[in-house]
Amino acid sequence: MKIFDTLAVARADILLPVEGLDLTRWSVIACDQYTSEPEYWERVAAFVGSAPSTYYLIYPEVYLNAPDKEIRIKNIKSRMREYLSTGLFKEIEGIIYVERETAHGWRKGLLLAVDLEKYDYRPQAQSLIRATEGTILERIPPRVQIREGAELELPHIMMLVDDPANLFIGPASDHRSDFPCLYDFDLMFDSGRVRGYLVNQPKVEEEILAGLGQLADQKKFCERYNLPPETPLLLFAVGDGNHSLATAKTIWEKTKAACSNPDELKTSPLRYALVEIVNLHDEALVFEPIHRVLFEVKGSPAFEEELKAFFQQQVEIRLHASYEELKKTVNNKEKNEQVAGLLSTQGFKSIKFLKPSTNLTVGTIQTFLDKLLSDRKVQNLDYVHGDDSLWQLVRKGDDNVGIYLPAMDKNELFPTVILDGALPRKTFSMGEAWEKRFYLEGRKLTSR
C-alpha cells in the first residue's frame, strides 16, 4: 500500500474474485438498502444459492433485529476465512477506475483507501473528510460487532469531491482504453452494469493525484467558496455509507487506544477504509430524496392534529386526488418554500410549512418525527429510497404513514457542510436504491 498522507488517501492492496466466478451472483447491493423489504433479500438468497457471494460476507440490515443475529455474525466471519483460505481472491495493488451504469448514464469513480485519521463524523467536524448527514449513533455498535475481528472489508462507501473541472477522475476516464479491464458484468435484478479498470499507467496516476492536490490547495479552496483564509479544508464529503465509515473509525480509535507500539499504527490496515470516490458534478450522479415511513401510528386519525399543534398551526394541509398530483406539488414548490407529502391508505396530502424551523424540509419534518418516536406514538420509523417503495410500505398497514420529501440540489452540498456542518440525517440519496454501490472488491483487515 502506497500512502499519500497530505491527500488522506492510499493506493490499496485490493482483493478481487478470481476468474471463473459468477460475478452477477458474487456482487450484492449495499447492506443498508431495502431495510423494510425482507422479500428483496429473500430473492437475493434464492438467486445466489450456494455460489460464492458477498451475500455471505455482509449483514443485510433488514435482519439486524433477527433472533439469530449472533449466529449470522459468526457465519460471516467464518465465510471470510473460508474464502481467503480457498483461493477465491486475487490481490492487486493500484487505483481502480470504476464505471457504473445508472438510469442517468455511467457514473465514474476511483477506488482508493482513505485515512481514518483525517475523518470525523461529528456534526461540526472540521476534518479533511466529513460526514454530510447526521450520524445515527445507535447504528454504530451493531456494525462494530460485525466488523471487529473480521478479516475482510467490502466497500459500499461512496465519497464525493467537488470538482467542476474534473481534475481528479478525468485523467482516468480519458485514458480508460489504455488500462486492463478487471471486470465487466451485469448486476443482479436489472440493476445496471459495472466495469472496472486498473490504473496501471504511472503518468496517469500522477495526473490523478495532481488533480486531487489542486482540490486540496487551501488558497484555492477558500477562493472557491468565498471563505476566510483560515477555514479548515473539506476535501471529501461522505455521500453513501457514512455509518460503515463511522464503524471503521470507531474500531480504529479502539485499536489506537490498545496499542503500545505507535510504529505499528502507521501502516495498520485498520487505519484505512476502502471507498469509491465520485465527482459531485458527474452527470450520472443524481440526488434523490430519502422518504420516511411510520409504522403503526398510534391514534393515526389524530396524526394531522398533532402535526398542526407541534408546528403551532403554522402549516397548510391540502388534499390531492392522486399520488402523482401530490408528487408534482412537492417537487414544483417555489424556491424558498418547504413542502412535504403525507401518504396513508386514506389519501394523499401535502404539508406546507409556513414558519419552518430549519433550512431544509427534511430537517423541519424530522423534528416532529423525532418527537413522535420519543413519545412512542409510532411502532417504528424507516428511511425509504424510491417513490414506489414508499407507497408499497404505506399500503401494508392502515396505520402506516408515509412522508414524501423533495430532492436536495446537489450543488448546495459542499457549501452547506462547510458553513453549517452535517445535514439532518438521511437528507439525500445518491440515486435510487438499485443504483447504489454493490459489494465486489475487498481488502484484508489483518496483516497475516
* Residue pair 240/160 in contact by the 8 Å Cβ criterion: no
What pLDDT, on the 0 to 100 scale, is given for residue 298?
79
What pLDDT, on the 0 to 100 scale, is given for residue 65?
86
Q: What domains sit in the chain, N to C, each tagged with a CATH number?
A: 2-284+431-444 (no CATH), 287-417 (3.30.1760.10)
The three-class DSSP label of residue 333 is coil
The 10s digit of each residue's pLDDT in 41-99 is 999 999 999 999 999 999 999 998 889 999 999 999 999 999 999 999 999 999 999 99
Residue 448 banded pLDDT, cuts 50, 70, 90: low
- The stretch 183-204 carries a mean pLDDT of 98
C-alpha cell at 83: 474464502
What pLDDT, on the 0 to 100 scale, is given for residue 51?
98
What pLDDT, on the 0 to 100 scale, is given for residue 260?
80
Contacts of 430 (CB under 8 A, 6+ apart): 158, 239, 240, 278, 285, 286, 287, 288, 436
- The stretch 119-125 carries a mean pLDDT of 91
**Residue whose C-alpha is closest to residue 238's, from 138, 141, 120, 139:** 120
Q: Name the percent of the chain lying above pLDDT 70.
A: 99
Q: Tell me 271's DSSP state.
A: G
Q: Tell me 73's DSSP state.
A: H
What pLDDT, on the 0 to 100 scale, is given for residue 406?
94
- In terms of pTM, does the model score above 0.75? yes
What pLDDT, on the 0 to 100 scale, is given for residue 134?
78
What pLDDT, on the 0 to 100 scale, is given for residue 137?
73
The three-class DSSP label of residue 446 is coil
Tell whether the model's pLDDT for residue 240 goes beyond 70: yes
C-alpha cell at 18: 478470481
Residues facing 81 on adjacent strands: none
Average pLDDT across the chain, whole number:
93
What pLDDT, on the 0 to 100 scale, is given for residue 56?
98
- The stretch 387-400 carries a mean pLDDT of 93
DSSP letter string over 337-370? Answer: --EEEEEETTEEEEEEESS-SSSSHHHHHHHHHH
Q: Which comes out higher in pLDDT, residue 377 or 425? A: 377
Look at 162-176, 346-360, 418-432 and tell me which has the smallest mean pLDDT: 418-432
What pLDDT, on the 0 to 100 scale, is given for residue 300?
63
- The stretch 272-282 carries a mean pLDDT of 98
What pLDDT, on the 0 to 100 scale, is given for residue 437?
96
- The stretch 274-292 carries a mean pLDDT of 96
- The widest CA-to-CA distance across the chain, in whole angstroms, is 67
- The stretch 347-352 carries a mean pLDDT of 96
